């Protein structure tokens, strides 16, 4: 069976790294990879292929920049041409990016079955582009690989149980990746990393494109850095541009985006994680670190319910208070939320048996 995998952004490279390995070691399956080019910077794309052993893409579309509609439209047109030529038996998409949406829509319009890894997640915030992408991808998919029971329940609440689709809680492929690559974690080439540093990332448009929210976050991080513990922040290129445009003063330590193995090292050695990333919330949990989430909602509700994660939005006082509270707290994992670390094998075996 011919599987075509669509990737385009950092989290998808990580997920595809372990799933592609499982697919290629499963008899009866063959895979082609399409890289849309959504993340085109070498530090956000090429390095992941190198570090994760992900095969070189069969197609490199180099589609990036422009509005959501422009980007997605260009991807749709290019993917359709490839699907007409290759006629895959199944198109595999990951997560909630524009690449996810384009791959799912293009395949479904050509009546090619779509398998969605990380299906069923909901933040219930339709202002987030990612929420729209994941909902649309779910509704045109034939196989829905859910990472949690809550994700399964979300789909059932939306009526998927009455549809001719396969819904499976396979666990989280990101957990597979963390277990697989943690022994190979690599310290970034930067000076002056404090033993008790706080790892921060901030890239979501709801924060970067809102001047008040971004200013609140930067000011809060400055105070945390100066009064609690060193803040270390790999900065997304869009965040850098927005900070410069607003003329915000950054007092904490910044660095360019890092590869996955470097991020694993930072997660393993930090004191605390603060982020607006979806994936990093889970990766903090995988590495036994508390997380403070710079968003008003999260799709990973189980982390909040079990007190591994705290939502603070972009409220300066809440960010500072949460950091002070969590900084010296002892992490205790009392429950395993994301499967047994074999999600990738379940995905591959399910694809083999589906047809």
Q: What is the pLDDT of residues 52-62, one digit of tens each?
A: 888 889 999 99
Domain match, 50 and 112 both: yes
Domain match, 149 and 269 both: no
Rounded Cα gap, residues 253 and 230, in angstroms: 8
Domain match, 211 and 292 both: yes
In a domain, 255, yes or no: yes
In a domain, 253, yes or no: yes
pLDDT at 16 over 70: yes
Give which of 275, 258, 265 is closest to 309, Cα–Cα.
275
Position 44 confidence tier, pLDDT thresholds 50, 70, 90 = low
In a domain, 226, yes or no: yes
pLDDT of residue 40: 65
pLDDT tens digits for range 140-149: 999 999 999 9
pLDDT of residue 334: 82
In a domain, 269, yes or no: yes
In a domain, 274, yes or no: yes
Task: Give the CATH number for residue 346.
Answer: 3.40.50.2000
In a domain, 236, yes or no: yes
Domain match, 216 and 311 both: yes
Mean pLDDT of 321-328: 96
Domain match, 191 and 166 both: no
Domain match, 32 and 168 both: yes
| Domain coverage including residue 109 | 2-172+339-354
Domain match, 34 and 96 both: yes
Mean pLDDT of 122-142: 95
pLDDT of residue 42: 53
Domain count, the chain: 2
Rounded Cα gap, residues 146 and 165, in angstroms: 13
pLDDT of residue 262: 93
Domain match, 317 and 343 both: no
Position 189 confidence tier, pLDDT thresholds 50, 70, 90 = confident
pLDDT tens digits for range 84-100: 999 999 999 999 999 99
Domain match, 155 and 195 both: no
Tokens linked to 75: 């991807």
Query: What is the percentage of the chain residues whose pLDDT exceeds 90?
Result: 84
Domain match, 80 and 200 both: no
> Which of these is catalytic: 35, 39, 116, 203?
203
pLDDT at 191 over 90: no
pLDDT of residue 10: 82
Domain match, 243 and 321 both: yes
CB 172 within 8 A of CB 281: no
pLDDT tens digits for range 253-310: 999 988 889 999 999 999 999 999 999 999 999 999 999 999 999 999 999 999 999 9
pLDDT of residue 296: 96
Q: Is 139 among the residues known to form the active site?
A: no
pLDDT tens digits for range 100-118: 999 999 999 999 999 999 9
Domain match, 111 and 67 both: yes
Position 43 confidence tier, pLDDT thresholds 50, 70, 90 = low
In a domain, 164, yes or no: yes
Rounded Cα gap, residues 71 and 103, in angstroms: 12
In a domain, 55, yes or no: yes
Instruction: Show Cβ contacts of residue 327 under 8 Å, excluding neighbours closer than 6 positions.
Output: 198, 228, 229, 271, 272
Question: What is the DSSP pairing of strand 30-35 with strand 166-169?
Answer: unpaired
């Amino acid at each position: 069976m011919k599987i075509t995998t669509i990737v385009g952004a950092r989290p998808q490279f990580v997920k595809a790294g372990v799933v592609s390995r499982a697919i290629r070691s499963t008899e009866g399956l063959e895979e082609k990879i399409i890289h849309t080019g959504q993340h085109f910077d070498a530090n956000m794309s090429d390095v992941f292929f190198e570090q994760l052993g992900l095969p070189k893409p069969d197609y490199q579309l180099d589609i990036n920049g422009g509005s959501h509609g422009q980007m997605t439209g260009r991807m749709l047109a290019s993917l359709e041409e490839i699907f007409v030529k290759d006629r895959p038996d199944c198109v595999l998409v990951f997560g909630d990016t524009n690449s996810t949406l384009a791959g799912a829509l293009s395949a479904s319009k050509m009546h090619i079955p779509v398998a969605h890894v990380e299906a069923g997640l909901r933040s219930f915030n339709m202002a987030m582009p990612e929420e729209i992408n994941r909902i649309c991808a779910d509704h045109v998919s034939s196989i829905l690989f859910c990472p949690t029971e809550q994700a399964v329940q979300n789909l059932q609440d939306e009526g998927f149980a009455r549809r001719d689709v396969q819904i499976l809680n396979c666990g989280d492929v990101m957990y597979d990746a963390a277990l697989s690559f943690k022994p190979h974690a690599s310290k970034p080439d930067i000076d002056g990393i404090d033993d008790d540093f706080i790892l921060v990332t901030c890239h979501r448009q709801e924060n970067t494109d809102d001047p008040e929210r971004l200013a609140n976050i930067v000011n809060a991080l400055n105070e945390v850095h100066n009064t609690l513990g060193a803040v270390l922040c790999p900065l997304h290129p869009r965040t850098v541009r927005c900070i410069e445009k607003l003329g915000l003063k950054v007092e904490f330590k910044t660095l360019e985006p890092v590869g996955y193995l470097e991020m694993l090292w930072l997660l393993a050695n930090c004191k605390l994680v603060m982020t607006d990333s979806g994936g990093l919330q889970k990766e903090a949990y995988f590495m036994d670190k508390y997380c403070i989430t710079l968003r008003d909602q999260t799709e990973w509700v189980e982390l909040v319910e079990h007190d591994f994660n705290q939502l603070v939005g972009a409220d300066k006082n809440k960010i500072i208070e949460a950091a002070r509270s969590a900084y010296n707290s002892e992490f205790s994992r009392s429950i395993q939320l994301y499967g047994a670390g074999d999600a990738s094998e379940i995905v591959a075996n399910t694809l083999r048996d589906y047809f």
